[in-house]
Amino acid sequence: MNLAKKSKLTEKPGESLPFDRIVYRIEETPAGDGYEATCPELLITGFGDTVEGAKVMLRRQVTEYLEDCDKLDALDETLIAAGFYYNGNVWMSSEVEPPKEPKIRFIGSPTDQTSNQISDLNSGQISGQTSDTTTE
């Protein structure tokens, strides 16, 4: 798990968050006489003579990209589109740690619905209308 490092990032609308609060994946591979480090979520690559050099360059490239997104007020949208989610502490890549299932809270009581309606909703079929058909 690697972190980007720099000045600011929107934690929640109107709040500031440092770039070291973004967790993303780094993949390293040999490239010619050097190495490349890639952040697959953001499609950014850095090159260097060593693996560490490539990672440093990648972090710099990611930081510059995120700073540009922040200046354009498109940072949250960019991170969400790239598969990041805010877990309460950091922006986490879903490639590093998949998001947890949301807690669903039902309003009303289950007795207000028939078991068939609940079953249809659970299977993805919305059964809001009923139709009576009569055959003669």
pLDDT at residue 115 in the model: 58
Overall average pLDDT of the 103-126 stretch: 64
Overall average pLDDT of the 127-133 stretch: 46
pLDDT at residue 10 in the model: 39
DSSP 12-63: STT-EE-GGGEEE--EEEEETTEEEEEETTTTEEEEESSHHHHHHHHHHHHH
**Tens-digit pLDDT profile for residues 71-85:** 999 999 999 999 999
Overall average pLDDT of the 103-122 stretch: 65
The dihedral through the CA atoms of 43, 45, 51, 57 has a sign that is negative
**Tens-digit pLDDT profile for residues 17-74:** 456 688 899 999 999 999 999 999 999 999 999 999 999 999 999 999 999 999 999 9
pLDDT at residue 122 in the model: 61
pLDDT band at 98 (very low <50, low <70, confident <90, very high): confident
pLDDT at residue 73 in the model: 93
Cα–Cα distance measured from residue 59 to residue 39, given in angstroms and rounded to the nearest whole number: 9
pLDDT at residue 25 in the model: 92
